[in-house]
Amino acid sequence: MNVLDNRRQLFAGVRRATILLVAAFALAVFGAGRAQAGEVRVPLTIDYLTLTEAIRSQLYTAPGGRAPLWNGSDDCQFLYAENPSFSRSGARVKLETGASLSLGVALAGQCVSPLAWSGIVEAESQPYLTGGVRLMLHIQDMNLYDIHHEKTLIAGKGFDLIKQYLIPRIETFSYDLNPAIQQLATLAEAASTPTVADRIRKAVATLRTEPGADATDDGVRITLLITVPDVPEAGPSATPAQPTPEEIQAFQRELDKWDAFLVFAIKQLGTTVGDRQFRGELLQILLNSRYRLADALAKPPAESGPDPVRILFLDTWQKLGVAVRSAARRGQLGARSLEFLSFISAGDALFALDQAAPALGMRISADDLRRLAHIMAPSATGDPLHFDFAEDPILRGLLGLPAGPLSSPPESEPAAAPSPTESPSPAPPTAGPTPDGAPPSPQAWRWFRLPWSLIEPREACASEVGEIVPQLKQIATRLRRAVVDESNADGYRSDMARLLELSIERQLRESDLDPRFRGAFRDLVKSAAWQESCWRQFVRRGDRVTWLESSSGDIGLMQVNKYVWRGFYNLEKLKWDVLYNAGAGTEILMEMTGQVLARPKVDPGRLDSTALARSVYAAYNGGPDAYNRWRRAHEPSPAREIDAAFLDKFRAVERDQAIDILSCAAQWGHAPGH
């Protein structure tokens, strides 16, 4: 495919985006609910980055991304432009483009140039609409600058050539939305019931624009006008106030599809852009969205009230758009700039339309998300909304996470020999996990061992790096499906303390955490495990042993949420492998520590250990954006109680106070955060 064909294909993405934005509005407005007849004004902004890519695809099509403007009698006479960029200049749209001019004479195979100039042309224009929804530019002023952006003067003939050939070429550029509008009725019919499609066709027939187009800081803003037909008001709803199980399942499927779509988008972006900062932004966007998703799943919506799926979509989309446009401004999107910007523009339209007519009951459907995904990656195969809990190494790799937590030895391996201070333990059950749990051990687990803090200093977890992994696996074997009770509480606590200490040590050796914060990180991990699970991985339900899981899907020792961390970790190992769960939670806490320390308003030089731990735990519990919630005077009661309970445990760990696992477990499920 040559450069011209490639740019034409990319420019088609803009039209596809426009089809989607208008169709999504029509489907959302007329798909359900009641709307009063009347005129709706819909402001739309065509951002400068998208306009820049569009003009590249139309005019800058020669090799090297040049726009050839004039050629004289031989190769020594030429004028071309390159590297266009749109921005705002007061009430006008400014186009800056590099340009090179030569008025030479060919002598003996060489160019003798009485005039050769290279610099920047700055053209200020007034945007206007013609032919319906075709955006064009009328040049009103032009200035020339050298490569240092200082004003320059060139000979009259040179200036005249630039003015004669560049201005008309720029004024041929148009951003045409008419083909999209013409295809709207057909698209709507394919995606809707006949009744809804008929209403859409009638509405589309009324679509027009206000005459003006305005330059804003973000782009050129136009306003669509559409007449909304009257939709009969639905009768009284027979739906009960509390959602039915079927409605809850449908709600969960909506959230699952949104999350799958967001993962698809982030993988497309992360594959294209290798910048660490950008990938970090993507990780925060995904995690914040997923924390909100998990919260929504724990509290399904009532019959009335705002739609949490729509709110989640719109809010996350704004953040994704900021990240993508920032990457585009840094030139990091490469050949896929127009695809990605068209993708964001289409979603922006959904947001703008929602704000323009919130009472019309706009809904974002699975088909809308699939169309958005196709705009972003037209050649991608598979369903972008496919959802499962399988571990995704590509996702981990794109976001800069290591290979994964350490796993326990397979159950077929012989158990590690007991240490001299412990009694022999029965072999763990060999049957694999079942959906409702695993069979209990034939005997009670019994240990007697001195607390680790009395054997060696707390900072000396392992003498050598090579000793950490074997020790971890030995302890994990002893803790395999171990349920703490009065008969084994002391030994269990000692083994679990040792497992956490060694997991922390292994994580610290793999990180570049500032030594000032390493002690706080050790206490943070142990107090977080105390807060989250009371240092338990397994519980007994009836006569079976199964993993600990909260009502919101938090699993095991570190209560790693299966929705938030979907794809990052192996779900079965999180359930059945205490070593893997400990490693996952420790890794997540280290990731959150890095995010907190990187926050612009956080000064590591003034951050004490307690403040750091509280911020990291708040992020671990509520998402990256919740890191500062414990400082807020008006934080809602549940979060305030959770943060206060964590602080108590963190201070207890700092004082080397031992956890009373049984008392803690008796309150689990009733105390804040469970």
Summarised one tens digit per residue, pLDDT across range 481-508 is 999 999 999 999 999 999 999 999 999 9
pLDDT tier for residue 557 given thresholds of 50, 70 and 90: very high
Judge residue 501's burial from the number of C-beta atoms within 10 Å of its C-beta, 0-12 exposed, 13-18 middle, 19 or more buried: buried
Hey, is 131 helix, strand or coil? coil
Structure tokens at 286: 């995904």
User: Mean pLDDT across the stretch 538-550?
Assistant: 94
The length of the chain in residues reads: 674
What distance in Å separates the CA atoms of residue 23 and residue 16, rounded to the nearest whole number? 11
- Which strand (E) or helix (H) includes residue 415? none
12 vs 385, residue with greater confidence: 385
**What contacts 586, CB < 8 A, 6 or more positions away?**
405, 503, 504, 506, 507, 525, 558
With a CB cutoff of 8 Å and minimum separation 6, the contacts of 106 are 74, 75, 76, 112
Greater model confidence, 642 or 209: 642
Those residues with Cβ within 8 angstroms of residue 493's Cβ, 6 or more apart along the chain or in another chain: 451, 484, 535, 658, 659, 661
Q: What is the pLDDT of residue 242?
A: 66
The residue whose two tokens read 């064009």 is 136
Question: Coil, strand, or helix at residue 496?
Answer: helix
The whole model's pTM is what? 0.72
- Residue 317 token pair: 């989309």
Q: How confident is the model at residue 349 (pLDDT cuts 50, 70, 90)?
A: low
Rounded to the nearest 10 degrees, how much is the dihedral formed by the CA atoms of 153, 156, 161, 167? Answer: 60
- Arithmetic mean of pLDDT, 365-379: 80
**Least confident stretch, 32-41, 113-122, 398-407, 423-432:** 423-432
Collapse the DSSP code of 129 into the 3-class scheme (helix H, G, I; strand E, B; otherwise coil) and give the result: strand
Mean pLDDT confidence for 505-516: 93
pLDDT number for residue 231: 60
Element containing residue 485 per DSSP (H, E) = none
* Structure confidence at residue 594 as a pLDDT band (50, 70, 90): very high
pLDDT at 339: 81
User: What is the spatial distance between Cα 67 and Cα 347, in angstroms, rounded to a whole number?
Assistant: 31
Q: pLDDT digit string (tens) for 185-235?
A: 444 444 455 555 666 667 767 877 888 899 999 899 988 787 876 665 555
Q: Tell me which of 272 and 189 has the higher pLDDT.
A: 272
Sheet with 92-103, side-by-side order of all strands: 66-71, 77-89, 92-103, 116-130, 134-145, 174-176
Tokens 């939305």 map to which residue? 177
Q: Which of 119-123, 236-240, 568-572, 635-639 has the lowest mean pLDDT?
A: 236-240
Contact present, 477 and 416 (Cβ < 8 Å) = yes
What pLDDT score was predicted for residue 424?
38
Residue 413: per-residue pLDDT: 55
Exposed, middle or buried, 420 (CB in 10 Å: 0-12/13-18/19+)? exposed
For residue 113, which amino acid is it? S
- Its sign, for the CA torsion 310, 312, 315, 316, is negative
Q: In the structure, what pLDDT confidence band is assigned to residue 1 with cuts at 50, 70 and 90? A: very low
> What Å distances lie between residue 623 and 295, 318, 361, 526, 619, CA to CA?
11, 17, 29, 19, 5
Q: Which residues pair with 555 in a beta bridge?
A: 549, 560
Most confident of 6-20, 87-101, 205-219: 87-101
Alpha-carbon span 575 to 592, nearest angstrom: 22
Task: Give residue 403's identity as a one-letter amino acid code.
Answer: A
Measured torsion, CA atoms of residues 65, 66, 67, 71, in degrees rounded to the nearest 10: -150
Most confident of 154-158, 201-205, 512-516: 512-516
Contacts of 559 (CB under 8 A, 6+ apart): 532, 533, 548, 550, 585
Residues 159-173: tens digit of each pLDDT: 888 999 999 999 999
Instruction: Give the integer Cα–Cα distance in Å for 481 and 485.
Output: 13
The one-letter code for the residue type at 405 is P
Rounded to an integer, the average pLDDT of 330-351 is 77
Query: Looking at beta carbons, which pairs linking 87-90 to residues 24 or more positions away fall under 8 Å?
Result: 87/48, 88/48, 88/215, 88/216, 88/217, 89/124, 89/215, 90/215
Q: 648 CB contacts (<8 Å, ≥6 apart)?
A: none
Rounded average pLDDT over 291-316: 73
Choose between 185 and 380: higher pLDDT: 380
DSSP state of 396: H
Name, in order, each residue with C-beta under 8 angstroms of 531's C-beta and a sequence gap of 6 or more: 617, 642, 645, 646, 649, 673
Higher pLDDT among residues 613 and 301, named by residue: 613
Question: Which amino acid, residue 494?
Answer: S
User: Coil, strand or helix: which one is 222?
Assistant: strand
Question: Would you state the pLDDT for residue 433?
Answer: 39
600, amino acid identity:
P
Question: What is the percent of the chain where pLDDT is above 70?
Answer: 75
Give φ, ψ of 125 to 5 degrees.
-140, 160
- For 83, list phi and psi in degrees, rounded to 5: 55, 65
How big, in percent rounded to 5, are the helix, strand and coil portions of the chain? 50, 15, 35
Q: pLDDT band for position 399 (50/70/90)? A: confident
* Mean pLDDT over each residue of the chain, to the nearest integer: 79
Domains in the chain (CATH in brackets) are 54-175 (no CATH), 452-662 (1.10.530)
Percent pLDDT > 90 in the chain is 44
pLDDT, position 604: 76
Is 352 a residue whose pLDDT tops 80? no
- Top pLDDT among 344 and 144 is at 144
Contacts 24+ apart (CB under 8 A), 116-122: 117/152, 117/154, 117/158, 118/147, 119/144, 119/145, 119/146, 119/147, 119/152, 120/96, 120/144, 120/145, 120/146, 120/147, 120/149, 121/81, 121/96, 121/97, 121/145, 121/162, 121/166, 122/94, 122/95, 122/96
Could you tell me the two tokens for 569? Answer: 């970790």
Q: Over 60: is that where the pLDDT of 145 sits?
A: yes
